[in-house]
Amino acid sequence: MEEARKYIEETYSKLVKKDPDQTEFLQAVKEFLNSIEPVFTAHPEFIEQNILERIIEPERIIQFRVPWTDDQGRVQVNRGFRVQFNSANGPYKGGLRFHPSVNQSIIKFLGFEQIFKNSLTGLPIGGGKGGSDFDPKEKSDAEVMRFCQSFMTELQRHIGPDLDIPAGDIGVGGREIGYLYGQYKRINGSQAGVLTGKPLMLGGSLARTEATGYGLVYFTDKMLQNEGKSFENKKVIVSGSGNVALYAIQKVHELGGTVIACSDSNGYILDPAGIDYTTVKQLKEVERKRISEYVTTHPTAIYSEGNIWDIEEAYQIALPCATQNEVNKDLAKNMIAQGVIAVAEGANMPSDLEAIEVYRQAGILYAPGKAANAGGVAVSALEMSQNSQRLSWSFEEVDEKLTDIMEAIYTEVRDTAKLYQVEGDFVAGANIAGFVKVALSMISQGIV
Ligand code: NDP
């Protein structure tokens, strides 16, 4: 459809003119736009209503100063962000990232992808994201607490249980959410529903910590089953060793696969006997140490510096669970050379556009993050439901709901790709299925 192609191209070039330096955001928008052309034949009203230009513009961006005092008594200043991207389907929902690389481009790319991910869950949540360039690594608990208190002192005026409900992401786990919640409560009184990913004693949900990693593996398992395959006896590599990676490793092992390597931002460990999940959990979650320490208790493992996707070792399934753009064209080619048959993303946008093209050319199974890692936000929405009802469901109950949601997302993505004649293209399936629901919802609310 000539008109649709022209509309897409014009929308993208306008954006490039407005935000030429926001490389991650432009990349996320380009990936989305590249796959949605088939939608406009069935929905010409999306062009009349200029939905694309509206959906790539955040409803609101909040940027603020976060001053705090370190243990030496020096005043430090970081930058805080919250992007309230789209509330067509419900209150803004999406995590907070604390990492030195955080800037407006990164938060916008994450917030943009969150719109479609949240739509795919089928739950009534809009898309948002936030964070700071604060680095929690090597900070004392007291420093992290003072930073979180200062961050929340400003953020609290912009969020609320029916308005915007942040959660965790890179650098924001139970400890940080606890401090953020404590400060919110001090200012506004007790409202457990304002943050998700809370520790259990503060109204958190069982299985929220595990949800993104488990959900990723449930999705991947469905995708493999559809091809008559499974995790059984497969060798798997998982990048990262944080929240998502850790529980992906645990679930892969439960399903009969062997995770032979994982990583952090310094390097990776290769343990052909299978990564010992309990040791990684202790090192990363409890002791907050580097992954290199793993080899001191596991002599069969080898530690190397560099990118994990450089590994030359036969394996079949790749689960990137660290960060954006960790896989480029050459690393994707290396995966294929090692025998990879499926890539499923626990991280957000871990494969760059050229890497995705390599997967396509090789004809392997590929599940983009916005579908495969939606389990985290899905269980966050279940945490909101439990908070509203003043109830807490059992681990099994939440895990069962998570399994059903991931299965439903898989089926919707697969069937949407088929319906729009791009069978097997899960990027298109996820983008189209997520987008159509939001676009229809936006139109029904008028020009707002
Ligand atoms: P964590 O902070 O718990 O862990 C992040 C992991 O990735 C760490 O091992 C970290 O290593 C590594 N990492 C971070 N930056 C880099 C980098 N530049 N290069 C190499 N490795 C890096 O975060 P999460 O596990 O929560 O998040 C991981 C990914 O999953 C992110 O893309 C996030 O957006 C996505 N995600 C998370 C969800 C959640 O529920 N937590 C939900 C959906 C998606 P190091 O310790 O050395 O920094």
Ligand 1 pocket list (CB less than 6 A): 168-171, 212, 240-245, 264-266, 321-323, 326, 346-348, 373, 376
Query: Which option is the CATH number for 60-194: 3.30.750.200, 3.40.50.10860, 3.40.50.150, 2.60.120.10?
Result: 3.40.50.10860
Calculate the average pLDDT of the chain. 97
286-295 pLDDT, tens digit each:
999 999 999 9
Q: Please tell me the predicted confidence (pLDDT) of residue 1.
A: 78
Nearest to 412 by CA among 125, 213, 215, 120: 120
Residue 139 pLDDT exceeds 90: yes
Catalytic residue among 93, 129, 139, 198: 129
Mean pLDDT calculated for residue range 61-87: 98
Residue 356 pLDDT exceeds 90: yes
Mutate to test the pocket of ligand 1, among 96, 110, 133, 169 (most ligand atoms within 8 A of CB): 169
Q: Please tell me the predicted confidence (pLDDT) of residue 53.
A: 98
Nearest to 347 by CA among 61, 38, 109: 109
Q: Please tell me the predicted confidence (pLDDT) of residue 154.
A: 98
Smallest CA separation from ligand 1 atom 3, residue: 242
417-446 pLDDT, tens digit each:
999 999 999 999 999 999 999 999 999 999
299-320 pLDDT, tens digit each:
999 999 999 999 999 999 999 9
Smallest CA separation from ligand 1 atom 7, residue: 322
Per CATH, 60-194 and 209-372 having the same topology is answered yes
Instruction: For the beta carbon of residue 153, count every other beta carbon within 10 angstroms.
Output: 16
Q: How far is CA 189 from the centre of its chain?
A: 30
129 is catalytic: yes
Going from N- to C-terminal start, the domains of the chain cover 2-55, 60-194, 209-372
Query: For 209-372, which CATH class?
Result: alpha beta
357-388 pLDDT, tens digit each:
999 999 999 999 999 999 999 999 999 999 99
Mutate to test the pocket of ligand 1, among 102, 113, 170, 285 (most ligand atoms within 8 A of CB): 170
Q: Please tell me the predicted confidence (pLDDT) of residue 448.
A: 87
pLDDT band at 236 (very low <50, low <70, confident <90, very high): very high
Residue 150 pLDDT exceeds 90: yes
Q: Please tell me the predicted confidence (pLDDT) of residue 44.
A: 95
> Residue 320 Cα, ligand 1 centroid: separation in angstroms?
10
Smallest CA separation from ligand 1 atom 39, residue: 169
> Residue 264 Cα, ligand 1 centroid: separation in angstroms?
9
| H-type alpha helices, 226-349 | 243-254, 277-281, 294-297, 329-337
Q: Please tell me the predicted confidence (pLDDT) of residue 386.
A: 97
Q: Please tell me the predicted confidence (pLDDT) of residue 37.
A: 95
- CA distance linking residue 55 with residue 6, whole number of Å: 17
Nearest atom within ligand 1 for CA of residue 350:
32
182-219 pLDDT, tens digit each:
999 999 999 999 999 999 999 999 999 999 999 999 99
Q: Please tell me the predicted confidence (pLDDT) of residue 12.
A: 98
Distances (CA, A) of 415 to 192, 280, 412: 37, 37, 5
Mean pLDDT calculated for residue range 157-175: 97
pLDDT band at 21 (very low <50, low <70, confident <90, very high): very high
DSSP-derived secondary structure letter, 233 = T
Smallest CA separation from ligand 1 atom 19, residue: 265
